[in-house]
């Protein structure tokens, strides 16, 4: 009996093809890359990279509720959210002094 299991992931065809091209140019398969991702995740006990967006898909949140929602959806990296939260607090303080 084998000590392996099958992982199925749904993604759009274009993303898969583009990723396969990148990994093929590196001499590996998409499956190799997924195995490496899992192995490194276990070693680091976290994502082995910092997720970022190259194109903003949502406008930056300007309220505490918007910041929390963006964090929950993982739309924006945490350090950017912290910066936005600080801005939001400063703007609120300025409004209260007017």
| Euclidean distance between CA atoms 34 and 16, whole angstroms | 12
Pair (26, 60) in one structural domain: no
Confidence category of residue 66, pLDDT binned at 50, 70, 90: low
Decide if pLDDT at 96 tops 90: no
- 3 with 41, same domain: the answer is yes
Q: Are residues 70 and 41 in the same domain?
A: no
Residue 63 has pLDDT above 80, yes or no: no
Question: Could you give the number of structural domains in the chain?
Answer: 2
Please check whether residues 68 and 85 belong to one and the same domain: yes
Number of neighbouring beta carbons within 10 Å of residue 71? 17
Q: Tell me, what's the pLDDT at 62?
A: 59
- The pLDDT value given to residue 40: 92
- Position 74 scores a pLDDT of 61
pLDDT for res 29: 94
Do 4 and 38 lie in one domain? The reply is: yes
Whether residue 90 sits in one domain with residue 76? yes
Segments forming the whole domain that contains residue 2: 1-49
Same domain, 54 and 40: no
């Amino acid at each position: 009996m084998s000590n392996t299991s099958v992982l199925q992931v749904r993604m759009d065809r274009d993303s898969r093809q583009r990723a396969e091209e990148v990994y093929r140019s590196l001499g590996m398969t998409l499956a190799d890359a997924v195995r490496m991702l899992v192995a490194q995740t276990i070693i680091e006990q976290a994502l082995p990279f910092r997720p970022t967006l190259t194109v903003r898909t949502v406008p930056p949140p300007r309220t505490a509720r918007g910041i929390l929602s963006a964090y929950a959806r993982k739309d924006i990296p945490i350090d950017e959210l912290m910066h936005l939260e600080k801005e939001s607090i400063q703007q609120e303080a300025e409004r209260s002094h007017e």
